[in-house]
A and B are shown apart, each in its own frame.
Chain A
Amino acid sequence: MPIKTKRFIIKKRSCSCSMPGVWRAVGYSKGAVVVFHSPKACAHVAHTMDINAHFRGIARGEREPYGYTAPLISTMLTEKHSIFGGAKQLENCLDFVVKRYKPQYIVIANSCVVGVIGDDVAAVAAGAEEKHNLPIITLPCYGFLDGEYYAGYYGVAEALVERFLVGGLPKVQDSVILLGDNGGPNGEYAVEVKRLLAYFDLQVIGQFPGYVAYDDMNQVTTAALSVVLGGRTQANDSLLKIAKKLEEKFAIPYYGGVYPLGWQGTREWLADLGRKLHKEESAQKAIAEQKERLERVLVDAKEKLRGKKVAVCIGRQLEYFRPEWVMEILKLIEINQLGIVLLDSYMPKDRASMEQAIKSCTNINIFNQLEGAKVVEAADIILTTHELEAYNARQLFLPMLPTVGVTGMIKLIKNIIKIAYRHGDKGGIVYG
C-alpha cells in the first residue's frame, strides 16, 4: 500500500503570518491590548490558536497559567476600506479601545490587506499615542508580506525593550529572565528549564515578552542572566537578538544558542551553562543525575522494545524539524531501525538539506515516499512528522516543539512504548 499522508501539500515556501506572532508576544502581558488592523476573520484565527492553547494547557495540568489575556480587537476592515483606506477606521478603533479597555499600552498588528492598501499605520499610531498619552506600538510587518510569525514576535519584543525597559536598577543575584514563549511559564519547556536552572541555584523571575505585566517590565532589567528558550532556527535567531540587546543596554548576560534537546543537547546545555557561570561542579552534578535518570528509563525501554521495528517518516522542512534528537533517542533505545522515509512534501532544495542533516547523524537508509511504503508496512512503530492515513499504523507524531531535557526524552520514550504496546491490531496515533 502506498503511503498517504493527511494534509498533503508540497510546501513551496514558509507559511505563517506575522499577526499571531504579535499577539503571542504580548497576549498575556497585563495592561496590554492588541489591535489587529485587519478584517475580522484574522483576529478569529489568532483567537482559535488561543482556544487550542488554553485547552492544551488544561490537558497538561497547566490550567490558569497566567491569569490575564489581553483583549484582542479587530478594526474590522471591509471592502470599502480597500477603496478609501483604513486609517480613519484604525484611528476610531484606537479611541474606542482606550475608552473601553483603559489599557496601559496598545500593540497594533497589521494585516496583508493593510500592506496592499498602504495605510500609514505608524502615523495613526503616533497621533493616537499623543492624543491619549499612551504607548502604542506598531511594526512594519503586514500579515505574510513582510516576515512571518517570528518577525511579528521579535518586532514586538524589541519594541518593548526599547520603549518600556529602563536600566539602573540593582541586579537580583542569581535571578533569571526567560526569553521566548514555548508554551508559557507553566509549559513543559519552561518547567524543565527551571528544573535544570535550579542545579545552579538560579531562580526564574519572569518570562519575556509575553508574560510580563506592564507594571513589572522594570523587573526584567534586574535579572542577573537571561536564558533563551530557543528551538527552531527562526525563533532562536530572533530571541538571541533580544538577548544581545538586553546585554548591550542593561548589562544582562545571556545564555542561548544551545538547545537542550536530546541527551547530547541537554548535556551540552548544562556543561556550557556551568562554564559560563563558573559552576562546573554544579553542571557535572546535574549531568550525572540526569544521565542516571535517563539510564534507568533506557534499561526498561530496551527490554520492552526488544525485537520491535521502527520506521521514521519525515516531511517537515529542516527549519522546523531537526532530525538529530530523534535519531539519538532511537540509537539509545537500541531499537531496530528499518529506514527513514522522506515524504513527497519537499521542494528539491529542501529535500537535499534534510537528507544531508539525516546523513550527518545516522547511517540508516533513506527512502522516498514510494519506496518507503514497504518500510512502513514492515514497521511495528512509525515515528512521523505527518499523520499517515493508514488507520492500522501505529504512529507517534513528532512534535514541532518537542519537550526539552531528559524529561522530554523520557516522555518520548514512554510514548514509543505506549504505541508499541497497543493491543492486538489496534493502530492510531500518539502525539509525542
Chain B
Amino acid sequence: MAKAEQWGNICNRVNTCALTGAAAFFAGIPGAEIINNGPLWCYFYALRYLERAKSDIGKFYHGTQPDNNSVIYGTEQFLLDELELRKKNSAASIMLIENSCSVSLIGDDIAGIARKAKMPCPVVCFDSGGLLGTFCRGYSLVGVKCLQELIPSKKVPKRVGRVNILGMSLGYLNDDNDLAEVKRILVMAGYEIGVCLGDGATVEEIMNLSAAEFNLVMHEELGLDIAKFLQEEYAMPYVSNGVPYGLEGTLNWLKALPGYTLKQEISEEVEKYRNKLFAATNEMRLVWGELWYDNIIVSGPSTMAFSLAEALRREWVDTGKLTAILQDVPINKKNSREIDEILLPAENMKEVETALMSFNRGLLMGSSSETVILQRNKHAENVQICNISYPIVDELLITSEPFMGFRGAAHMLQRLWNGSIAMKVNR
C-alpha cells in the first residue's frame, strides 16, 4: 500500500492536478479538442495554466459548465450540448472528455454519452480530477488511455535508428525550446525522430509510432508508464536516462542511447562549446570571482530537478550544500554524488518547509512559488533566483534558448553568471 503523503503548507509545494496534466497531453496533439466536464472554475484554472505555453489553447479547450444540480441529476445534458457545439464548429482529430473531481464521483457514463453524441472522431474519456493525483499522473494515465483508444498499428515496418520521444509536455517551462534542442542533438547524432507523443505528434503519426526502434523517455514522471505500456503491448524497448543538462551531461546522455556512435558533428560542437564557455567564464572570473554559492536549492518536477542539480554542480557552479526538492514522487528513486540532500514534499514535508523558510545566501533554481516564500521571509535579497519551472510570474522567457542540450548548457551558464553579476551590482 502506498504511503500516505505528508501534510504541510501547500505554499512549499508546486504542482497542479491530473485534470491539467491530462489536458496538457492532448494540447500537445495538433487538431485535438478537449472538453472539461466540470465547474467553470476548474476549467479556467487549467486553461490559464496551459495558456502560458499555448496561448491559443482556448480555441481547443472547452468547458461544459455543469451547475450544482448536476451532482444529483448528472452532467449528461451539459455534455451533450457541448458535444453538439463541437460537432458543428470543429473538425477535431481526436477528443478528450475529462471529468473534474466532483463530476468523477457522480458516476455518469461519459463514454456512453459520447457514443450517443456520435462524434466523428475518436473520443477518450477520463476521470481526471485532483482525487486522481497530480499533473504527471493525469498526463501519463491519459497518455496510455489515448493509445488504448487509438490502437496504433503493430504492422508498421521498423526503421533502424528511429526514436520516439516520450514524456515531454508543454506543461513544463521552456518545453518547446528544449524539445527542439533534443531533436537537433538526436538528428546530429544520427537518429531519426519518430513520434513526440503528447508534444507535437499528430493522430496520424501516433498511429505509426511502432516504426521506431526504441522509445526515449525524457521526464520519467510523465513518460515512463507510457513507455512500459508500449513495451508490453508493442514490444518496443525504451531508454530512460534523465534529461540532458550541461555539456558533459548531454554527451553522457547521448552515449547511453542504443546504437550511439560518436559523430564528428557532435564532437565538434562539444569542443566548440567547451572552448567558448571556458574562455568566456574565465574572463568573468577575473572581474567577478568564482561562481560559488554557500547553499543551493533546486526545486521542480522530479526528473528535471534531479538532472539539473547534477549538471549544476558537475559543470556550472560550486557550492557548500546542494539540495534537490523533487515536487513529484519519482518512479525510480535515485541517489547522486552531486546532490547532498534529496527532499520529496510528499515524504519530507517538514524538511522541505525548513529548507525553504531558512534558506539564505545562495542560489534558488525553482519557480515563482519558492521565490514568494523567500521574499516573505525577507531572504530574497541574499538569494540569486533562476526560474526553471512553472509557475513563473517574475521573469519573461520568450526567446528560443533551451535549458537542455549543448545550447542549453551555454544558456544556463549565461543565466547563472548574469544573475550572479546582477546580485553583486545591486548589493
A interface residue numbers (CB < 8 A to B): 6-9, 11-17, 36, 38-48, 50-52, 54-55, 58, 63-64, 69, 71-79, 81-82, 93, 96-97, 100-101, 111-113, 115-117, 143-146
Contact = CB atoms under 8 A, between A and B. Distances in A.
Contacts of B368: 51, 55
B68 A144 contact: yes
B391 interface: yes
Contact of A15 (B13, B18, B41): B41
B106 A143 contact: no
A144 B39 contact: yes
Contacts of B41: 15-17, 45, 143-144
A36 B5 CA distance: 15
Contacts of B67: 13
9 contacts: A40-B10, A40-B13, A40-B134, A41-B18, A41-B20, A42-B130, A100-B350, A111-B101, A112-B39
A116 B65 contact: no
Given A9-B40, A54-B376, A100-B8, 10 more contacts: A9-B58, A13-B65, A40-B17, A44-B16, A52-B393, A93-B7, A97-B7, A112-B71, A143-B102, A144-B40
A47 B47 contact: no
B126 to A, nearest CB: 14
Contact of A116 (B9, B71, B130, B375): B71
B45 interface: yes
Contacts of B5: 40, 76
A47 B39 contact: no
A148 B67 CA distance: 12
Contact of B11 (A8, A47, A117): A47
Interface string B97-109: 0000110011000
Interface in B30-66: 39-41, 43-45, 47, 51, 55, 58-59, 62-63, 65
Interface of B: 4-5, 7-11, 13-20, 39-41, 43-45, 47, 51, 55, 58-59, 62-63, 65, 67-68, 71, 101-102, 105-106, 129-134, 350, 368-369, 372, 375-376, 378, 391, 393-394
Interface pairs A-B: 9 shortest CB-CB: A39-B130, A41-B17, A15-B40, A41-B130, A112-B102, A43-B10, A144-B39, A71-B9, A17-B41
B113 to A, nearest CB: 18
Contact of A79 (B20, B65, B131, B394): B131
A311 B367 CA distance: 39
A44 B42 CA distance: 11
A6 B102 CA distance: 28
B13 A44 contact: yes
B71 to A, nearest CB: 6
B102 A145 contact: yes
Contacts of A9: 40, 58, 62-63
A43 B55 CA distance: 25
Given A42-B130, A71-B9, A145-B71, A13 B40 contact: yes
Nearest to B132: A79
B114 to A, nearest CB: 21
A182 B62 CA distance: 30
B167 to A, nearest CB: 21
Contacts of B133: 78
B129 A39 contact: yes
A52 B55 CA distance: 18
A41 B102 contact: no
A114 to B, nearest CB: 9
Nearest to A18: B41
A55 B11 contact: no
Contacts of B7: 73-76, 93, 96-97, 100
A73 B63 contact: no
B390 to A, nearest CB: 10
Nearest to A82: B105
A113 B17 CA distance: 14
A182 B231 CA distance: 54
Nearest to A38: B130
B399 to A, nearest CB: 18
A45 B45 CA distance: 7
A290 B378 CA distance: 38
Given A38-B130, A39-B101, A55-B368, A44 B71 contact: no
